[in-house]
Structure 1
Amino acid sequence: MFSQRFQRPVVVSAHARIRMEEREISDTMLLEVIDSGETRYKDTTHLWAFKEFPARHDNLLCAILVLEDCVVVKTVMHHFTVL
């Protein structure tokens, strides 16, 4: 996978891959969250990217990201709420 938004490859951690399977989140959906979702930065390299998918009934999907030489997906969540 490659992120157009961040112009770098996307690497999904083993933990995130397990959560994606449990929550039925495809690579396509994940990339859509990363590239076109809203973002909130914790600092310059750590952020949340989140997006609503109207066909899903589990609120916002969220990816926890770390920007390095690649975009590292640490985990993915559903039922996410923005504070």
Structure 2
Amino acid sequence: MYSHRFNSEVHIARHASERMAARNISDDELIELIEAGTVKHKDAVRVWVAKHFVNRQDNLLWFAAVLEDKMVVKTVMHHFEWEEK
């Protein structure tokens, strides 16, 4: 998988792949999330990306990733809310 937005190869960690299957999140939804979701940086290499999908009833989908020589998607979740600072 490749992200044009992040100009990077995307690796989906086993844990993220398992969470996607458990939460019925498709590869197409993950790609849309990567390419069009709202990005928040935790630091220089860690990000959260979230997006609302109209056809889903489980609030925002989001993932946590590390951006180094490639994007590594660490986990994928649903029922997400941004923390207020």
Name the TM tier (shorter chain): over 0.9
| Residue 20 of structure 1 pairs with residue 20 of structure 2 | yes
User: Percent of pairs identical after alignment?
Assistant: 48
SS state at 1:40 partner: strand
Amino acid at match of 1:23: R
Structure 1 stretches of 4+ moved >6 Å: none
Report the AA paired with residue 15 of structure 1: H
Corresponding residue of 1:40 = 40
Aligned equivalents of 2:2, 2:26: Cα separation in 1 = 15
CA shift for structure 1 position 69 = 1.0
Q: Deviations over 1:44-77 (max 9, x none)?
A: 1101000000110000000101001111000001
Q: Which residue in 2 is equivalent to 1:6?
A: 6
Determine if the alignment matches structure 1 residue 31 to structure 2 residue 31.
yes
For 1:79, the aligned partner's letter is H
Tell me how large the CA RMSD over aligned residues is: 0.6
Unaligned ranges ≥5, structure 2: none
Displacement, 1:31?
A: 1.1
Q: Name the TM-score, length of structure 2 as normaliser.
A: 0.95
* Cα offset, 1:29, TM superposition: 0.6
Structure 1 unmatched ranges of 5 or more: none
